[in-house]
Amino acid sequence: MMINHHISDEMLVSYAAGALSDAARLFVASHVQLCERCEDRVAKATLVGGHLLETASETPLSDNSFDHLEALLDKADAEPEEQTGDMTPSADLSHIPAPLQLLLGQDYDALQWKTVAPGVKQYQLPIACEDGEKARLLKLSPGFVTPMHSHHGHEMTLVLKGSFSDESGRYKVGDVQEADGEVDHQPIADTEEDCICFIVTDAPLQFRGIVGKVLQPILGF
């Protein structure tokens, strides 16, 4: 699987440090299970975090802190800890990231999707969310165009099936898009199959134009 869009280093470090909400942690874990690059960086961040705890100082982290942590790890010549337990998805659910599979317990088609507008359905994930946070699966019909919007907070999107495109590029299975208030975009499901995404937001979206504002209460975004 070729993954071109990854989770930011800041999120990976927060994940390794156990500093994320349950929903955000599930999101990162789902991407990491699909992405060898991010899995490796999480392993390095975890090991280096332990090293820093042993040699803790009051020095604040700089902008290039992750690269510095990797350099420390290489110098320490540490080996990644061996993973325990069997997290391999069962054969019929192997297309679902293992952490998400454990939560769902069934295939996407068997979920109780709620139609929120023509061409878009959602499934609220049964996981505890912090105040203002939402974790859901969205299913977009082929060709569905999301209304132009920005964000009041932080939005993370992981493609689980199909793909979508927007002003920043194309996102396929395993790819992650992180967006905030500086991003204005209009994603479109660009394949002949449904596009299913795992989305975590910590604040409502900010739709542009009359159509988007009318649809927002209906969509529940």
Same domain flag for 71 and 140: no
Nearest-Å Rg of the Cα atoms of the chain is 19
* Count of structural domains within the chain: 2
Summarised one tens digit per residue, pLDDT across range 158-185 is 999 999 998 889 999 999 998 875 667 7
Same domain flag for 117 and 199: yes
Summarised one tens digit per residue, pLDDT across range 3-59 is 999 999 999 999 998 999 999 999 999 999 999 999 999 998 888 765 544 555 555
Asked whether residue 1 is domain-assigned, the answer is: no
d(CA 84, CA 82): 6
Asked whether residue 33 is domain-assigned, the answer is: yes
Q: What is the structure's pLDDT at 77? A: 43
Same domain flag for 46 and 135: no
Asked whether residue 32 is domain-assigned, the answer is: yes
Helix then strand then coil, in percent of the chain rounded to 5, is 35, 25, 45
Same domain flag for 143 and 38: no
The pair of three-digit structure tokens given for residue 188, joined into one six-digit string: 């479109």
Same domain flag for 15 and 54: yes
d(CA 102, CA 88): 10
Residue scoring higher pLDDT (60 or 9): 9
pLDDT for residue 121 is more than 70: yes
Same domain flag for 107 and 178: yes
Lowest-confidence pick of 130-134, 140-144, 175-179, 183-187: 183-187
Confidence (pTM): 0.75
Asked whether residue 198 is domain-assigned, the answer is: yes
Q: What is the DSSP string of 170-184?
A: EE-TT-EEEE-TT--
Which residues on adjacent β-strands are paired with residue 96? none
Domain span at residue 144 reads 97-219
Asked whether residue 38 is domain-assigned, the answer is: yes
Same domain flag for 109 and 64: no
Asked whether residue 39 is domain-assigned, the answer is: yes
Same domain flag for 203 and 101: yes
Same domain flag for 136 and 194: yes
Asked whether residue 137 is domain-assigned, the answer is: yes
CB 187 within 8 A of CB 166: yes
Same domain flag for 33 and 102: no
